[in-house]
């Protein structure tokens, strides 16, 4: 078997394992805790008015069937997996009778779009600046960038998003702070709509990018400061290769591979950040959906969003991992 083939198989196995363990954790949390979701939903539904005992009993039966909590533990486990594999999480209780999968399908493009753009921008800018800072060590500008990156990096997404909200929402209100586009704009592929979407995405994306740049910047600067002392770099310098070329083909090219692995490893954390950012800026993605579902007590929607998040993030990690050999010939060819 070729080297890439075995690499592919290994990564696929890892993907299956991650999804398997993730979904099992979800199952365990929802089924092994002492709280009965059916009784909780009934309590929430009946707390606002009088409901006859017969109606409650009917509701209990239908909820049991819906959640798949009837039968033996093995039955429940099998039902749970079946629902996940055919992506059918039943109707949402807070937006009855819209299926959960429809609500999720509506939210995914917003999250995916925001995440892809923000992650790629943060990764590219952070690595470029970090690489430059590692190579041109004397530059005062890059040193200043380093200090800012170090200051921003440890602060959690929520605080950054919150500060941006305060600055651009209250102190200097120039950017929209809620929603994904202006409510009046027609939702089709025309210029006003696209501009409106872009304008609304600036703040959520910026909060993700600000944190992200710091991480990639510091990682890349450390990697580059190791590659510049390697023999081949010193040799290229002595041989009079142009500095820009050394920087690009000798230093950055070798330091970038670990950063791709780093990207794959941190996608989960970035996703967490996106959920929080969406919530702060009222962006209509998975995060806002998840938190609204928790507040509304919508059990099937919460399980749906959690499972889809696990599968989506693992799939994204798989994609990054599969792209890795393109950058690292040692994995591509034996």
Partner 1 sequence: MLRILRDLLRYNRGFGLGCFLLLLVAGMAALSAVSPYPPLDVYVVPPDMPPSAEFILGTTSRGQDVFWQLTLAIRNTLLFGITVAVLSRIISLTVGLLAGYLGGAVDRVLMSVNDTFIIIPLFPILVLFYFVMRDNMSWTMLAVVTASLGWSYDARLIRSMAMSLRTREFTHQAVFSGMRAPEVVLREHLPYVLPIVFSTTMNNMNWSIGLEVTLSVLGFTDINTPTIGGMIYWANQHAAMVSGIWWWVAFPVALVVCLFVGLFLLAVSMNEYIDPRSRLARTGGAG
Alpha-carbon distance values, 26 to 23, 32, 80, 311 (Å): 5, 10, 10, 12
Residues 180-239 that bind partner 1 (CB under 8 A): 225, 228-229
Alpha-carbon distance values, 245 to 135, 139, 151, 263 (Å): 12, 18, 31, 25
Calpha distance 293→299 (Å, rounded): 7
Q: How many residues bind partner 1 (CB under 8 A)?
A: 53
Give the nearer residue to partner 1 in terms of CB position, either 22 or 68: 22
35 binds partner 1 (CB under 8 A): yes
Task: Among 149, 252, 290, 292, indicate the residue that binds partner 1 (CB under 8 A).
Answer: 290
Give the nearer residue to partner 1 in terms of CB position, either 181 or 218: 218
284 binds partner 1 (CB under 8 A): no
40 binds partner 1 (CB under 8 A): yes
79 binds partner 1 (CB under 8 A): no
- Asked if 139 and 228 touch (Cβ cutoff 8 Å), the reply is no
DSSP secondary structure string for all residues of 294-332:
HHHT-HHHHHHHHHHHHHHHHHHHHHHHHHHHHH-HHHH
Give the nearer residue to partner 1 in terms of CB position, either 91 or 304: 304
166 binds partner 1 (CB under 8 A): yes
Stretch that binds partner 1, among 76-84, 124-132, 145-153, 255-263 (CB under 8 A): 145-153
Alpha-carbon distance values, 133 to 136, 154, 247, 250 (Å): 5, 19, 11, 15
Q: Is 259 exposed, middle or buried (0-12, 13-18, 19+ CB in 10 A)?
A: buried
DSSP secondary structure string for all residues of 33-48:
SS--HHHHHHHHHHTT
Calpha distance 147→62 (Å, rounded): 58
157 binds partner 1 (CB under 8 A): yes
Task: Among 70, 156, 173, 192, indicate the residue that binds partner 1 (CB under 8 A).
Answer: 156
151 binds partner 1 (CB under 8 A): yes
Stretch that binds partner 1, among 51-59, 97-105, 112-120, 302-310 (CB under 8 A): 302-310
Q: Is 213 exposed, middle or buried (0-12, 13-18, 19+ CB in 10 A)?
A: buried
Stretch that binds partner 1, among 93-101, 108-116, 311-319, 322-330 (CB under 8 A): 311-319
Note the residues at the interface with partner 1 (CB under 8 A). Answer: 14, 17-18, 21-22, 25-26, 29-30, 33-35, 37, 40, 150-151, 153-159, 162-163, 166, 170, 225, 228-229, 264-265, 267-269, 271-272, 275-276, 279, 290-291, 294, 299, 302-303, 305-306, 309-310, 313-314, 317
């Amino acid at each position: 078997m070729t080297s890439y083939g075995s690499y592919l198989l290994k990564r696929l196995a890892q993907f299956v394992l991650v999804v398997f363990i993730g979904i099992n954790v979800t199952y365990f949390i929802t089924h092994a805790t002492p709280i009965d979701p059916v009784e909780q939903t009934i309590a929430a539904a009946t707390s606002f008015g009088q409901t006859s005992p017969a109606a409650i009993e009917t509701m209990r039966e239908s909820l049991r069937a819906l959640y798949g909590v009837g039968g033996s533990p093995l039955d429940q486990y099998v039902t749970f997996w079946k629902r996940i594999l055919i992506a059918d999480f039943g109707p949402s209780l807070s937006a009855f009778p819209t299926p959960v999968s429809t609500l999720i399908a509506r939210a995914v493009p917003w999250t995916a779009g925001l995440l892809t753009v923000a992650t790629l921008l943060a990764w590219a800018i952070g690595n470029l600046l970090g690489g430059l800072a590692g190579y041109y060590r004397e530059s005062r500008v890059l040193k200043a960038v380093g200090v800012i990156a170090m200051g921003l990096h440890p602060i959690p997404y929520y605080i950054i998003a919150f500060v941006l909200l305060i600055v651009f929402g209250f102190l200097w209100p120039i950017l929209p702070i809620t929603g994904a586009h202006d409510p009046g704009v027609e939702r089709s592929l025309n210029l006003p709509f696209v501009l409106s979407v872009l304008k609304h995405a600036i703040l959520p994306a910026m909060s993700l990018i600000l944190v992200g740049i710091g991480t990639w910047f510091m990682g890349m600067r450390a990697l580059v400061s190791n590659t510049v002392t390697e023999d081949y770099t010193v040799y290229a310098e002595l041989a009079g290769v142009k500095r820009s070329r050394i920087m690009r083909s000798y230093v950055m090219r070798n330091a970038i591979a670990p950063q791709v692995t780093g990207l794959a490893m941190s996608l989960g954390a970035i996703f967490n950040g996106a959920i929080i950012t969406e919530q702060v800026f009222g962006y209509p993605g998975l995060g806002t959906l998840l938190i609204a579902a928790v507040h509304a007590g919508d059990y099937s929607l919460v399980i749906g969003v959690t499972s889809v998040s696990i599968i989506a993030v693992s799939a994204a990690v798989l994609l990054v991992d599969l792209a890795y050999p393109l950058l690292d010939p040692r994995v591509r060819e034996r």
